Chains A and B, each alone.
Chain A
Amino acid sequence: MTAATAHGAAVVEPAESPLTPESWGKLGMWIFLAGDAVGFGTLLAGYGAMRATSADWPNPYEVLGINLTAIMTFLLICSSVTMVKALEWLGKGDRRRAINFLLYTAAGGAIFVSLQAYEWTHLIHRGLLINGNPWGASLFGTSFFLVTGFHGLHVTAGVIYLVSMVRWVLNRPDPAASYNGVEILGLYWHFVDLVWIMVFTFLYLL
């Protein structure tokens, strides 16, 4: 087959350059993330449409409060940094430091989800429910829980993904052998951070 390519098709019509020479997995993750982003984009566009057509939409940052959420945003940004540091150490061949940073990242995600659980409990006690609230349009609660819940689910999945990848890296004695896998994991984790930047702006700040 190689001979045929070399003598035939490749000469007449050069083969397409590979999208990601290092890994098809990276392309796969990007395509998955694009699909996932359409899901989040649809949720946020729907949120905008519901809010624009509502006469009594509550003022989000007065109802939800943004102090805790600002800390959560900062936490996710920090966890993105520990994620890139993990990959950097793996690239330098230091598996132990890389694993430490992967665990810091997982801890950041776990704290984020815990803070979100605390925030939800607090808001539910104040009367924000999925089907109504004391401040105005009932869809406010519906969309809030739907969007932040969908994102929280992604963070939870990310923490599980991170912890299972720690095992995966440990099973490979050569750090270079796990570089691609950890880079793909990083793509997912940064995507979760990126989506939170949008969610924080649209649901809390606007």
Chain B
Amino acid sequence: MNSIPSASEIDEEAADWAARVDARGLDVDHDPELRAWLKGDARRAGALLRAQAAISFLDRGRALAGAAPPVEAVPAERPSRRALIAGAGGMAAALVGGVGLWRARPQRLETRLGEIRRVPLADGSLVAINTKTALDVAMKPRSRRIVLKEGEAWFQVAKDPERPFVVAAGPVRVRAVGTAFSVRRGDEAGAGVDVMVTEGVVETWVEGDPSPRRRVAAGGRIVLASAVSPTVAQSPSEIERSLAWRNGEIALDGESLEQAARLFNRYNSRQIVIEDPELARERFVGLFQTNEPESFAAAVAATLGAVVADDAGSIRISRAHIS
């Protein structure tokens, strides 16, 4: 009985090896001692993979901490979460050792209406994908390429000077190294591509456009390839609010009801309709879940004295008529 080690005994040995590989940068495929250990029992390869995966899982904490924006309106459920964010904040995104991580085929990532996903990429970067979005990820030895086909995504880019990280949205290009930013393609033609930077600096340009490339730093926002000429606007708090979707939230701060309805309608098949044009211009403040247009309608009804009529397909908000 004693001659066959249990799964957990193998796990312990594997933890030692994984720590050694991590600390000394050993090459798993070529280190003779490690190879000898792996050969000794077929189960060891699985245990080593699991132990190394656990290290990689812990490293994701850094990417996720950076990704979770400190939205002031939301009470932090875990008090120490803030401390973790503070700790990670000073650091740029996860460092990936000079290993050539790359995927030969572009990977397609998609979200359906109302769906929001966070996906770690093979290079250590993290992408948060908003509702109804499609993008292709191509990791190559010398470059990291994202093609935003439609919708909106926020990227936290792992630093790797050898491999520029470029997002393409139509003719627009956004290039970054060790930074975080979002790119949104407008729904209508001519609406342009909206770029918001939350960390570091990005460089933007439009393919075929001879004008010089523009740099946008943290807190900056630029709309490219639209009808109006692009200008960089500085509005860090505005940007954080616009990116509340990463937490599945819509943060309203004085938007008109019409604008708010449009925001909710991006996420839900049940569309909000503001029936009265005057009511549509009313301004509103509040924090809501993207998938709860009903609670938004109820809040509007309660504060602005409106009435809500809803059926399966829509939520209609109108002025209460005093008769």
Pairing of A with B:
no
- A residues adjacent to B (C-beta < 8 A): none
